[in-house]
Amino acid sequence: MFKKNLFILGVLGAIITPVITSAATVSVLNNNFESDAIPITPGYTTSISGWVKNGAGEIGAHIPDKDIDYLDTGGRGQVAYLNAAGKMYNAPAAKIVSGETYTLTFDVGRALSQTNLSMIARIKANGLSLVQVQLNKTQIEAGTWETHNLTFTATDDMPIGSKLVIEFQNLSFDAASRVDVDNVKLMTSIKEPLKPFPKNLSIINAATTLSVPSEHDNVKDALEYLSDKYITSNAIVTIDVDDCSNESYSFPIDLVHPQGKQIEIIGNTTDPAACVMQFNGSSGFTITNNRQVKRINGFHIKGNGVNKTDGVSATKGASLSLGASTKVTGFYNGINATYGGRVYANTVLVSQNAGSGIVAQYGGYVQANGSQSNENTLHGYLSADGGVMEALNSKASKNDYNGYFADTFGVIKGDNAMASGNLGSAFFASSKGILDVPSSSTSNDFVGYQCASGGQINQANSSQVGTLTLYIPEVGVYDQNCLIQ
């Protein structure tokens, strides 16, 4: 069948693309912490050349002792240490280049004296965490060292051209806590000389519309049609759904096209309720492994409440954007970003999910400014396990647990956030989670601002109507210690 507005060229000997197969080491100043002379007394330093202290806790270099510190030092000389709440960073000679892949490797030691360990490693730029990993005592046995790595591929929505920053942080506030770090290395991919595409490869090199259902039965078929097409950077492919009567799936729509950032999937942007994409027993849109999609907009993405399903999910460095005319209901989690995945969901409506509405966890990132998350069985907005969420001017109402919940080092930034009618807390920070919610408001929630287990809340200039101010179940008393004014 002839596809309208489609530009396909059969033989492409002149079309070229880079192939990335090799890597180079980026210089990290004092990467093995051998540069500083350690005095006999006290036997350690309280600063490290090339590294900047930017936390409350002490950092420095010391020489690990076999049998006292470790079962085996592995031939290590000097190593870095981060005491409780210690944090340090290094800015190597590397900037973000679109399409480049960066890999950080490092060794983490847990001394025999350490009954616990809790730390996080990040690669950042412009203050934004691009990829991170959180480690605890289950990953590293006492008296041993373990090698870990972080990797990501730079995409156009990252701060291209900005300098990379390597950061390590001891997350524990126990005065006796210590984390050791050694052998920090950063590798970046090298683009080899441009090579030709195979001949007979079809390309799309101009704006193209694929209509559903007049040309393709459904969105899945349209994406399948594109699977052997190369989309040039000056072309946008629009999958235009003008009739949603047959948009029903028993499997997720996996967004895997390598030029996905040139693809948009558009339904009814005036009335998304008139364009339902029904997923029965499965997740909705999923994207992974550094893939991208330009935009999904104009749909009511609807599930049927099955556990372990997500309406929209991004993981392992992948990213996608949802347009303002998007509604997500009826899954376990409405929107879910994990392991460096990124979802841009500004002004979307998420509701009536069996778990939480909008979730960032395990280092995922969600931008949900101006969004609403209502009537979910658990939480409206959940950030956990190092996840980061931006939810400025958002609203959470009538959720069965909490409106906004930052748990286990999760972070939610929600200036002017509004919570109302939630059966748990309007704003709850637990297990060193952080809620940065100045000028927020609560109305008729069971609890207003709640902290537990080291969680912290900035609720300056907040307002409350018909809501308790603060309650901590663990101790049962009012406590201002968790509030940052």
Least confident among 241-245, 265-269, 406-410: 241-245
Indicate the residue type of 429: A
Best mean pLDDT range from 16-20, 239-243, 344-348, 452-456: 344-348
Mean pLDDT of the chain: 87
pLDDT of res. 5: 39
Mean of pLDDT values over 281-287: 95
pLDDT of res. 1: 32
Name which of 361, 363, 366, 364 is nearest 391 in CA terms: 366
Distances 99 to 18, 20, 485 between C-alpha atoms, Å:
10, 9, 42
- Indicate if the pLDDT at residue 353 is higher than 50: yes
More confident: 349 or 247: 349
- Indicate if the pLDDT at residue 197 is higher than 60: no
- Domain range 23-191, CATH class: mainly beta
357 in Cβ contact with 376 (< 8 Å): yes
Q: Round to the nearest angstrom and report the end-to-end CA distance of the chain.
A: 64
410 in Cβ contact with 428 (< 8 Å): no
Domain 202-465 = CATH 2.160.20.10 = yes
pLDDT of res. 467: 61
- Indicate if the pLDDT at residue 477 is higher than 60: no
73 in Cβ contact with 53 (< 8 Å): no
Give tens-digit pLDDT for 159-191: 888 899 999 999 988 888 999 999 999 988 754
In this structure, how many other beta carbons lie within 10 angstroms of the beta carbon of residue 476? 8
172 in Cβ contact with 90 (< 8 Å): no
Q: Which of the four pLDDT bands, split at 50, 70 and 90, describes residue 16? A: very low
Q: pTM here?
A: 0.65
pLDDT of res. 406: 95
CATH 2.60.120.260, the chain: domain bounds: 23-191
Distances 173 to 86, 122, 170, 230 between C-alpha atoms, Å:
9, 19, 8, 52
CATH 2.160.20.10, the chain: domain bounds: 202-465
CA distance linking residue 447 with residue 250, whole number of Å:
40
